[in-house]
């Protein structure tokens, strides 16, 4: 594989919806992706994958309430299997760097899903947590909560629509990241 400069690797801004909080027990039921050119912040592609749950009996009711699973059952009529969804995700994100708003939550679920399916995780080993970036840049300016809604409000962005969906979450994370990058540029910190 040809080496590619870090700044030239696309950013795979990703959000997931799950059936609970434990990646060993619960599963991903939705993936949202915004694939972005790092240098220009131009959106290269977006994708949304509904994944058919196979262990819904283990789901946490509050997780299904947050993501509105039962209210949106029609969206899962054409859901894919995990292998098909991850195969397409891997193809779209080859050589990209993973960005999520809460990497500590999303990362283990994504890694577990790739391991479970045997599909090569084609996302680069560089993974970035937008929550950490928000803390680093905004806490000194008075941010008091790291919830995405609080960060959005602090930045003057509209809140993410409810119920929470993976693609809207990824788009919202993209808007937060783009705003933070613009703040850094205005402060003279480079790209």
Contact predicate 15/101, CB 8 Å: yes
Alpha helices in 58-102 (DSSP H): 61-66, 82-92
Per the structure, the complete domain to which residue 69 belongs is given by 6-180
Q: What is the DSSP string of 2-37?
A: ----GGGSPEEEEEEEESSS-TTT--EEEEEEEEE-
Structural domain count of the chain = 1
The pLDDT of residue 2 is 59
Which CATH number goes with the domain that contains 176?
A: 3.30.420.10
pLDDT at 71: 84
pLDDT at 28: 98
134 inside domain: yes
With respect to residue 94, please indicate whether it lies within any of the assigned structural domains: yes
Domain assignment of residue 189, yes or no: no
> Which stretches of the chain drop beneath a pLDDT of 50?
1
End-to-end Cα, the chain, rounded Å = 26
Whether 170 maps to a domain, the answer reads: yes
pLDDT digits (tens, 9 = 90+) for 44-78: 999 999 999 999 999 999 999 988 888 888 888 88
Q: Is residue 55 part of a domain?
A: yes
pTM: 0.92
């Amino acid at each position: 594989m040809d080496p590619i400069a870090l700044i030239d690797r696309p950013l795979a801004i990703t959000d997931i919806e799950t059936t609970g909080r434990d990646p060993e027990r619960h599963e991903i039921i939705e993936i949202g992706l915004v694939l972005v050119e790092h240098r220009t912040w131009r959106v290269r592609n977006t994708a949304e994958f509904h994944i058919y749950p196979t262990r819904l009996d283990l789901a946490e009711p509050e997780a299904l309430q947050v993501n509105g699973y039962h209210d949106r059952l029609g969206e899962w009529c054409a859901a894919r299997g995990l292998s098909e969804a991850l195969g397409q995700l891997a193809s779209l994100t080859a050589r990209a760097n993973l960005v999520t708003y809460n990497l500590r939550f999303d990362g283990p679920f994504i890694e577990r899903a790739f391991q479970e399916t045997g599909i090569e995780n084609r996302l680069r080993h560089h993974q970035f947590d937008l929550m950490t970036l928000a803390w680093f840049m905004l806490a000194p300016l008075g941010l008091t909560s790291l919830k995405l809604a609080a960060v959005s409000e602090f930045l003057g962005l509209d809140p993410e629509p409810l119920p929470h969906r993976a693609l809207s979450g990824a788009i919202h994370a993209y808007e937060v990241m783009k705003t933070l990058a613009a703040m850094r540029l205005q402060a003279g910190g480079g790209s």
